[in-house]
Amino acid sequence: MDSPFSISPPENFDFSDFPSWPNWIRRFERFRVAAGLDQKGEAYQVNSLVYAMGDKADDILCTLGLSEEDKKKYKPVKEAFDKYFICKHNVIYERCRFNKRSQEPGESAESFISAVYKLAEHCNYGAMQEEMIRDRLVVGIRYQGLSESLQMDSELTLAKAVLKIRQHEEIKKQQPTVRDTGGPDHNEANVDMMKYKKKFQKHTKGAQGKGSRNHEKEQRGCGRCGKTPSHSLTNCAARDAECRKCHKKGHYAALCKTKPSSVHEIQEEEEVETVFLGSVSAGGQSKTWQKTLILNGQQTTFKLDTGADVTAIPAKVYSKKKQHGPLTTATKRLLGPGDNALQVKGQFNGTIKYKEQTTEQPAVFVIQKLATPLLGLPAIEALQLAYTVDSIKEQIDIKRLYPKVFTGLGCLRGMYKIKLSKDAKPYALSLPGGVYPFPY
């Protein structure tokens, strides 16, 4: 039967690289079957092998010590070439190479796994080979968190380790797309537990005078936010931040590369409140504690979260209801999981009412891609929507209340005479610390 497509033999063997012989001959074996050579005569197969190897193959074949009859048989010729090219391996050296193998920067998980498998071929680990490969993969991967997680799995197998490493890398590749989707059909995320974390940043103001010519540059990590290791703009915390020096977006003032127009620099520490998001849940998947409140005269349904320190509404809610007034620049930076900056459009003053209670919130944040309005703890407490239960600190003295119960040991009122049967035998119960009589 003719082949439905043309199959080319592997490239000529590199006779200066003997260790590559196993890989080359495996590829030729596949070609031999795919091209139908295994159905041909023995002499035809030998000639095909020698031709595919290259010019030096004939000369080497003459030195292998085969009889004229064996030179026409494929199996003896292949085995002779195997003995010629595959020398005896130094097990200590091979194991040293194996144990030193770690995932290189920029190397894919698949490439690292394949390399470890290949190095283990000549280590002669025997029945321990799978466990040794598993351990090398766990210790050698460059993701420390994943490595520690795998080490804590007491029932970790090689197959399970390989699967988790591949899945981890695949999820890492998907994050830029997952974190930057904004289509109308995209299921937005609910934002919970906003927490303040105070940081100090250097903020420079210009004044007249002579400019400083000494500018110390340190680029140990990202040139936009300063965090290590370096990362893409998509995952950068300063992606949407506005520089206080040049007023451009995409970097912090401390890392601004724009030369100051002023001559003297006055540095002052400015306290910046950063809002972090503690959890993100997919929209519409769980029931939440919600209340319909009046925000600036408009009914708005909020999700109540006592772990949130700020109140926020989605940008689409702000756009629909015009009574909230103009936006001002946000006074706090809002960061999401992985220190990714949220897209904050600004903030406005909000008057929130619930029944007879009213609270003034000086900063209600407007956030892009926020699924539902979120009511923070300050507003919840002001509107009396949550109550706390103080712990009971009063200690009750039981002995003082019931003194008779704790007076004496086994004292009974009056005299009691116990009659025993004639065949009664003494009995004692052994307890830790001694032997105590058992009453009967």
Least confident range from 20-24, 56-60, 210-214, 370-374: namely 210-214
What is the DSSP code string of 44-81?
HHHHHHHHHH-THHHHHHHTS---TTGGG-HHHHHHHH
pLDDT for 387: 59
pLDDT for 213: 41
Q: Is the pLDDT of residue 352 over 60?
A: yes
CB atoms closer than 10 angstroms to residue 132: 18
Q: Is the pLDDT of residue 436 over 70?
A: no
pLDDT for 99: 95
pLDDT for 41: 92
Cβ(141)–Cβ(195) below 8 Å: no
What residues are paired with 249 via a beta bridge? 242
Contacts of 38 (CB under 8 A, 6+ apart): 32, 45
Cα angle, residue 297 at apex, residues 295 and 302 outer, rounded to 5°: 25
Rounded mean pLDDT, 212-228: 58
pLDDT for 214: 41
pLDDT for 230: 72
- Euclidean distance between CA atoms 397 and 394, whole angstroms: 10
Ramachandran sector of residue 226 (left: φ over 0; alpha: ψ -120 to 50; beta: rest)? left
Q: Count CA within 13 A, CB hemisphere, residue 366.
A: 19
Contacts of 223 (CB under 8 A, 6+ apart): 230, 251, 255, 257
Please write the tens of the pLDDT for every residue from 269-323: 444 566 654 444 444 444 557 888 888 888 888 888 776 778 888 888 888 776 7
DSSP run (H or E) holding 27: helix 21-34
Bigger pLDDT: 321 vs 268 = 321
Q: Is the pLDDT of residue 96 over 90?
A: yes
Q: Is the pLDDT of residue 103 over 80?
A: yes
Cβ(368)–Cβ(345) below 8 Å: yes
Least confident range from 254-263, 340-349, 410-419: namely 254-263
Q: Is the pLDDT of residue 160 over 70?
A: yes
Rounded mean pLDDT, 162-173: 90
pLDDT for 97: 92
Least confident range from 71-85, 235-249, 299-313, 418-432: namely 418-432
Q: Is the pLDDT of residue 209 over 90?
A: no
Pairing of strands 311-314, 264-282: unpaired
The SS3 assignment for 409 reads coil
Q: What average pLDDT does the structure give for the chain?
A: 77
Please write the tens of the pLDDT for every residue from 109-138: 999 999 999 899 889 899 999 999 999 999
Rounded mean pLDDT, 149-159: 93
pLDDT for 16: 85
Bigger pLDDT: 83 vs 338 = 83
**Residue 180 — very low, low, confident or very high, per pLDDT cuts 50/70/90?**
low
- CA-nearest of 70, 72, 57 to 24 is 57
- CA-nearest of 363, 360, 377 to 334 is 363
* Percent of the chain whose pLDDT exceeds 90: 20
pTM above 0.75, yes or no: no
CB atoms closer than 10 angstroms to residue 422: 4
pLDDT for 372: 83
Cβ(346)–Cβ(363) below 8 Å: no
Tokens of 48: 């095909």
- CA-nearest of 158, 162, 21 to 82 is 21
234-269 exposure pattern, b = at least 16 Cβ within 10 A, e = fewer: ebbbbbbbebbbeeeeebbbebbeeebebeeeeeee
Please write the tens of the pLDDT for every residue from 374-427: 888 888 888 888 755 454 556 677 778 878 777 766 666 677 777 888 888 777
**Residue 47 — very low, low, confident or very high, per pLDDT cuts 50/70/90?**
very high
Main-chain phi, psi angles of 280, to 5 degrees: -130, 125
Rounded mean pLDDT, 354-372: 86
pLDDT for 375: 86
Q: Count CA within 13 A, CB hemisphere, residue 417.
A: 1
Q: Is the pLDDT of residue 199 over 70?
A: no
**Residue 100 — very low, low, confident or very high, per pLDDT cuts 50/70/90?**
very high
- Euclidean distance between CA atoms 143 and 139, whole angstroms: 10
Bigger pLDDT: 48 vs 403 = 48
pLDDT for 262: 42
Q: Is the pLDDT of residue 249 over 60?
A: yes
Bigger pLDDT: 358 vs 5 = 358
